[in-house]
Chain A
């Protein structure tokens, strides 16, 4: 499958700005949730000022642990949750702004693949109806939508005659995830957000689905936003990687560079926590002690300082910023050690 389907150069009719224009620009996106009963004004700062750029044709991986806000971020990008503040610019047009692109039009070009939980597919609906639902809602007639669904099922490796009339409970995890992917692709999007799309799968099935995702990206010329907690998978599939901690971006850069020379202490700890398959190289001391703090009352200044070995007074007083970055090759970190002017004793060394 891999070698025969080479990417064909084409221009999508919906493309507005050409290859140079980023697919998505996110500026200072913020979303807080009020916590009931945990005291007045207690707020979960799920996403707190996230900014990044997604270029056309790339795969941006977003890693972080539980509570970092990556799933909330995914839903904010599709306006499934409405942001409190911040800006989303899709191919040059502001989303949900007076003269920009509407959310409905955005959702025709951006789709999401959910984690294969028991709740990702309607248990009472046959597979082909679930997949055909999107096209049907967007104006296609039922027979047309049905045909589109069968087409896309073939592309994800499921025979429509064998799998179309089946119900989700009859399918294995890998097959259900292929259906999820088919459902997202049935509407012909240009960008796909994959929210923990392979996390619930067995390792061998995960490999198959990752291969499928790579092939689909090439043939359908897609742009991926790949959210996962699994560092190995993110490293494998991403061109660039974004690391999140407690609702903020702490590091952003090309995948190879970020994984070989991480600049933020949290990224370093994350990478050091990876398990190798070599039984002779075991980890004796954990790189990070304790659990991630709750996003309800994050520490002042740098949110990582309570677990950082290099925390100093300046870390509590000033929140580090991500630093200026210009293009796809920039590698920046939100750390006072990376900023030469911060006043940290190790400033400029990260």
Chain B
């Protein structure tokens, strides 16, 4: 299960910070995200709304509005600085080296163009294929994502396809130019359960076949368990825990992760769910010290004074918490 890909990192992100500046306030959407990704590896960015996971993804694709968003830190893809790309190189980068799948295919696809036109535009722009060759390749791609009758569907408009087929079409578009890095922003959240599992299995298979590095953003722990090799949990713009998915889900090292697992509804007996009290902090006014301290049952005075330093309970695990040992202890004893 552990697709341990080897080699130098495909993607290196160091201290990525994204601030949205308006006249009234500054929203600290991402504060110092640091992680790396190898080719062939699937990293899941897990978090709730406002955690900064989607913003991180869009910052990687350089899709954030240039004036309002202030990005700092380094992002390197295969050694090249992504944040410095401009003009033609940036266009080649987007779609060619990195591709993105969005959550809502109906709004991500242009309704006045057919699926085939979406695909051939990508192929001709990035691969320079002629019209006939692009169309043939488009049909191949639709077949690859298991869309039935691809020769017919290549001329279909987005609104003529069902939700699951639209999402598969979007995956085909994303994969059309053989990107090295695939970014997926909650692609299965809007899908029914039976369709979601089909799309997840498809993504897993395609990712293994193509050997792409994948960053998968989701708020669903089940999806993370199903598709990820490693998981990075985000809260209020910081990565507060990171590690192999099986280890993190079996024995979380951060109180937030533990709280998230306990509050997710799954076969609990008939009593109140152990919900995390309160709400995530306002990103315009982050509390001093650890952002999770106001809601944390294990919070100490030291937690509110300074932001916790990373702790490494295992060689490939990280947690930003002063009480990692206590959390690990608690998770090893199953609660009654």
Is A273 touching B193 in the complex (CB atoms < 8 A)?
A: yes
Is B197 touching A283 in the complex (CB atoms < 8 A)?
A: yes
Per-residue CB contact flags for chain A residues 249-293 toward chain B (1 = under 8 Å, else 0) read 000000000000000000001100111111110111111111110
Is A286 touching B48 in the complex (CB atoms < 8 A)?
A: no
Task: For the complex formed, measure the closest distance between the CB of A171 and the CB atoms of chain B, giving whole angstroms.
Answer: 10
- B273 interface contact, C-beta 8 A: yes
- B residues within 8 A CB of A284? 201
- B219 interface contact, C-beta 8 A: yes
Known A269-B194, A274-B222, A276-B225; contact A174-B273, beta-carbon cutoff 8 A: no
Which residue from A204, A232, A292 sits with its C-beta under 8 Å from B275? A204
- A330 interface contact, C-beta 8 A: no
Task: For the complex formed, measure the closest distance between the CB of A260 and the CB atoms of chain B, giving whole angstroms.
Answer: 11
- B residues within 8 A CB of A232? 264-267
Which residue from B226, B260, B271, B275 sits with its C-beta under 8 Å from A208? B275
- B residues within 8 A CB of A285? 201
Is A291 touching B165 in the complex (CB atoms < 8 A)?
A: yes
Which residue from A172, A208, A235, A277 sits with its C-beta under 8 Å from B222? A277
CA of A347 to CA of B26, assembled, Å: 66
How many interface residues does A have (CB within 8 Å)? 47
Per-residue CB contact flags for chain B residues 27-62 toward chain A (1 = under 8 Å, else 0) read 000000000000000000000110000000000000
- B158 interface contact, C-beta 8 A: no
Nearest B residue to A281, CB-CB: B225
- A155 interface contact, C-beta 8 A: no
Is B245 touching A2 in the complex (CB atoms < 8 A)?
A: no
Known A203-B260, A277-B225, A277-B261; contact A229-B193, beta-carbon cutoff 8 A: yes
For residues 200 through 226 of chain B, which have their beta carbon under 8 Å from a beta carbon of chain A? 200-201, 219-226
CA of A276 to CA of B163, assembled, Å: 23
Is A291 touching B225 in the complex (CB atoms < 8 A)?
A: no
Nearest B residue to A236, CB-CB: B265
Which residue from A2, A204, A235, A289 sits with its C-beta under 8 Å from B198? A289
Nearest B residue to A174, CB-CB: B279
Residue with the highest number of chain A CB atoms closer than 10 Å, among B49, B163, B194, B268: B194
- B1 interface contact, C-beta 8 A: yes
Nearest B residue to A259, CB-CB: B267
Known A204-B260, A207-B264, A282-B1; contact A292-B201, beta-carbon cutoff 8 A: no
Is A273 touching B201 in the complex (CB atoms < 8 A)?
A: no
Known A236-B265, A286-B198; contact A65-B193, beta-carbon cutoff 8 A: yes
CA of A121 to CA of B209, assembled, Å: 47
CA of A102 to CA of B259, assembled, Å: 47
- A residues within 8 A CB of B259? 204
- A residues within 8 A CB of B246? 279-280
Is B272 touching A288 in the complex (CB atoms < 8 A)?
A: no
- B residues within 8 A CB of A277? 221-222, 225, 249, 261, 264, 266
Nearest B residue to A2, CB-CB: B272
- A residues within 8 A CB of B276? 204, 207-208
CA of A327 to CA of B153, assembled, Å: 48
- B residues within 8 A CB of A214? 272
How many interface residues does B have (CB within 8 Å)? 49
Which residue from B225, B245, B265 sits with its C-beta under 8 Å from A207? B265
Task: For the complex formed, measure the closest distance between the CB of A3 and the CB atoms of chain B, giving whole angstroms.
Answer: 9
Known A275-B226, A276-B225, A280-B1; contact A203-B219, beta-carbon cutoff 8 A: yes
CA of A159 to CA of B327, assembled, Å: 33
Known A202-B219, A204-B259; contact A286-B194, beta-carbon cutoff 8 A: yes
- B335 interface contact, C-beta 8 A: no
- A233 interface contact, C-beta 8 A: yes
Nearest B residue to A292, CB-CB: B192
- B residues within 8 A CB of A2? 271-272
- B85 interface contact, C-beta 8 A: no
- A residues within 8 A CB of B223? 275
Per-residue CB contact flags for chain A residues 139-183 toward chain B (1 = under 8 Å, else 0) read 000000000000000000000000000000000111100000000
- B residues within 8 A CB of A280? 1, 246
Residue with the highest number of chain B CB atoms closer than 10 Å, among A205, A280, A286, A291: A291
15 A-B residue pairs with Cβ-Cβ distance under 8 Å, sorted by A, are A174-B279, A202-B49, A203-B221, A203-B264, A207-B263, A236-B268, A269-B194, A273-B193, A275-B196, A275-B222, A279-B226, A282-B225, A283-B201, A291-B162, A292-B162
19 further A-B contacts with Cβ under 8 Å, apart from A203-B264, A277-B261, A289-B198, are A66-B163, A202-B49, A202-B219, A203-B48, A203-B219, A205-B279, A206-B263, A207-B264, A236-B265, A270-B193, A273-B193, A273-B194, A277-B222, A277-B225, A277-B266, A279-B224, A282-B1, A286-B197, A292-B194
